[in-house]
Structure formats: C-alpha cells, structure tokens
Structure 1
Amino acid sequence: MENLSRKPDLAYLAELSQSQRAIPAGAALLPESTPLIVRVERGIAMRYTLLEDGRRQVEALVYPGDLCGLTSVLYGPGASYYEALTPMMLSSFDPADLHQPLPDGPDRTTTLVWLMTRELTRLSGWLASVGQRNANEGIAWFVMHAWERAEAVGLIEKDSAPFPFAQQVVADSLGLSLVHTNKTIRRLRDQGLFRIAGGRVRISSLPALRRAAAL
C-alpha cells in the first residue's frame, strides 16, 4: 500500500463523474434516500448532525475538492447532513465506481483510506475546539481553520478569504450560545485580530490569530 502521508492523485475522479449540477445556498448536497457521493467543484458547505429536539452540531466545513457521502456509502446511512452555504457546483459519482480497480492509476482503496484519514484528522481538531478551547480560543480557531481551508484551494483574494458563515453556524460549530458568539466575535475584532465584512474575512496577523486560537 502507498504511503498514506502523501496526497494521492485525485485527477481520475473527473473521469468517473456522471453529471454536474448547480445548487443554491441553503440546499442539501445529498439526497436522503439514494446513496450518492458528490465532489465539490465550487462553493462552500457545512456538515452537521441534528438532535431529536432540533439542536444542531456542525461537524465540518466543506470546500472545493472534498467528497461528500463517503461515510454513508461505505458504512451505511448516518446522522450527518450537508447544506450549501454558498451557491455550489457538484459532480456526482456512482459509489460502485469508486471500488473498481484501475489498470493504470492510483489504488482506489488507498485513496479512500487517505480521504477518510484526512477527515478523521480534521475532526480531531474540531473536537478539541468544542471540548477544550474557551470561546475566545474557539472562535479564533474557527476563523483560522476557515482561512487555512480557503488557502489550500486557492480562494484567498486581495488578502481576504470567503467567510459565508452566519454567527449561528459558528455557534453551532463550537457549542456556544448565539449571544456569547456575537460578543466574542466583537471582542476579537476590537482586538484587531480579524475583520469580517461582505462575506469575507481579513486577518491582521496570522501568528497572532494562531496564538489566540492556542495553536
């Protein structure tokens, strides 16, 4: 098996795409009834879990290049949902195609394991923020995480990153109340760590923000 520390070549996924579709902000990325895997080509989404009383825990941010639906296809339906936070373009795949061997190309089993391992690594950081970081640290971490995800896929423009996250999304990511989230964001803004406006965030000093996030 290949070295899992090295990112596999995912270019072959373009050949497996059966269709592309555009969806608006607020729409679900995956159907609830049919197992499906989609790849994000453009746009930003979130993955979340709902409790029986309607409370929501945001589990992850989803950016271009991410695959959605892997867990439910491999292990059966789960409790996670995907919602577009911006207009998006998605490529759809037949889950069975991801298991077919390639005569000349990357081993797909290794690729799937790499993708799942990457998601587990991100989830570990997410859990640390929910469980251990205080409100200041957690929100600083969320902004830093959004910046790094955007930077990784080339979405930094004019020293700013997309930030299509309502304060309720930030609150539901970190287990905070909306009031506490609002006050903390204003406090960190007033400290000069970042500025959010027009759906984008500008960071004054990345090292200072990392320190504030206990990174």
Structure 2
Amino acid sequence: MKNGKNDTVEDLSRQPDLGFLAELVTLQRLVPPGSVLLPDPGFALVRVERGIGIRYALLEDGRRQIEGLIYPGDLCGLPECVLGEGTSYHEALTAMSVSHFDPLDVRQSRAAEQLPGQVLLWLMATESSRLSQWLVSVGQRNAQEGIAWFVHHVWERAGMAGLIQGASAPFPFSQQVVADVLGLSLVHTNKTMRRLRDLGLFRIASGRVEIASISRLRRAAAL
C-alpha cells in the first residue's frame, strides 16, 4: 500500500538530482596529483568531475588518518561551508578536474530549494554509511580483513563512478595510503597485501586492480 511516508522514503533512497549545479559553476580547475582540492576552505564548494583523491586528518606530529576516498561526482567542502572551517584535507592522487561553486549561490538558487532538506539528508546518510564501515575496518577488522575490505570498497566506488573497464578498476593507492586508511605499519601492509595477492583475491598492476571473485573478497573482508 502506498502512502506519503513510503513515497518519501523511496525518494530519499535515490541519489538526488544535482544537475542544477551546472549553472552555478564559478570556476573549473585542473588539479595535478599531490595538490589540494580546496585551496580556500570555507569559501568554496567543489564537485569532482574527473580523477580520484583522498580526504584525511593530520595529527600535530604529522601522522595521517585517511577518512575517505574522493571520486567523480563527489562534493567536497560541505562541512567547511556549513561550519566555516574544516578539519580535513583533500588531496588529489591522480590528475583531477573540479568545478567550484560559491556556497551562497547554491543556497540562494531557486533550483536548490530542497538542498537543505532532501539533498543534504541523502549526502549525510551516504557519508554516514561509508564512515560506519570505515570505522569498523579501523577498529575491528584485522589486517587481512581490512585490506580486503578496502579493495572491495575501491571496487564499489569505481563502479558507482563508472570507472570499471573490463575486469579492472583504477587503483592509484600506494601501500602507504592503504596503511594510513587502516592504521597499519607499512611493513605489515606490504606483507598482508602480498599474502592476499598470493591467495588469488586480487591483482594490482599498473595502477589498476583486478578481482577474481567478488564473493571471495567479501568473505575475506567479513562483509
């Protein structure tokens, strides 16, 4: 039986249409690998058009905790726009293309009337779901489970962004990045990735990953 409540839940389960943003672009920029995506945090909202990056936090001594991956279609800078300052850094791992928006233009756009409601709710729910598995992997999964989960997560994000070609997906992540995702040492990460590769769970070469069996990888990741 259909009712207003069920219709609302169904609507919220789908990705909202952000096509109106195309009319609000103030700047398009190419970002080389290793560069920051948000040069002026708090005053820019950025949508990724091409390329892959990471979001991370830093401790005073330079230790890094990677908090998430950035793929085409992602919006960067929402927390900074809302709070006025950010606690995360956004860095390009590959060459990237991004579009900039003025947060004020977005808020005042007539086409964005639902942005404070449905769109923000969808974005927050999606990020919360990703962070939940991220937290489980850092806190509870062992090294093998964590790395298997990360490879599976990369495959999922690549699929959502339309980046899977044939039987492989982009994998521009160094072992140091994988270690900083899971809080592992570089040596332990290297040994564990070799072990999982030798088990035939995945193959990484030339910046791409191939997965022989998604079901086997999911089991290895305790998913």
SS in 1 for 2:184: coil
Q: 2:93 maps to what in 1?
A: 85
The answer to whether the 8 A contact 2:42-2:81 is kept is: no
Q: How does 1:1-150 map to 2 (within 5 A)?
A: 2-3=8-9, 4-32=12-40, 35-102=43-110, 107-109=114-116, 110-150=118-158
| Alignment partners' CA distance in 1, 2:109 and 2:220 | 46
Query: RMSD over aligned Cα, in angstroms?
Result: 1.5
SS in 2 for 1:58: strand
Residues 33, 62 of structure 1: alpha-carbon distance in 2 compared, 3 angstrom cutoff: closer
SS in 1 for 2:19: coil
Q: Which moved more, 1:30-39 or 1:89-98?
A: 30-39
What amino acid is the match of 2:84? Answer: G
Moved over 6 A (4+): none
Q: Deviations over 1:95-119 (max 9, x none)?
A: 112212526x761222122112211
What amino acid is the match of 2:172? Answer: P
The answer to whether the 8 A contact 2:45-2:100 is kept is: yes
Higher normalized helix content (fraction of residues): 2
Residues 23, 15 of structure 1: alpha-carbon distance in 2 compared, 3 angstrom cutoff: same
SS in 1 for 2:60: coil
Q: Deviations over 1:169-207 (max 9, x none)?
A: 000000000000000000000000000000000001000
Structure 1's unaligned 5+ residue stretches are: none
The answer to whether the 8 A contact 1:26-1:85 is kept is: yes
The answer to whether the 8 A contact 1:8-1:106 is kept is: no
> How far did residue 75 of structure 1 move?
1.7
SS in 1 for 2:191: helix
| Alignment partners' CA distance in 2, 1:106 and 1:125 | 31
What amino acid is the match of 1:107? Answer: Q
The answer to whether the 8 A contact 1:101-1:108 is kept is: no
| Alignment partners' CA distance in 1, 2:40 and 2:63 | 19
The answer to whether the 8 A contact 2:47-2:75 is kept is: yes
Aligned length: 214
Establish whether residue 197 from structure 1 lines up as the match of residue 205 from structure 2.
Answer: yes
> How far did residue 33 of structure 1 move?
5.4
> How far did residue 34 of structure 1 move?
5.3
> How far did residue 166 of structure 1 move?
0.4
What amino acid is the match of 1:163? Answer: F
The answer to whether the 8 A contact 1:101-1:107 is kept is: no
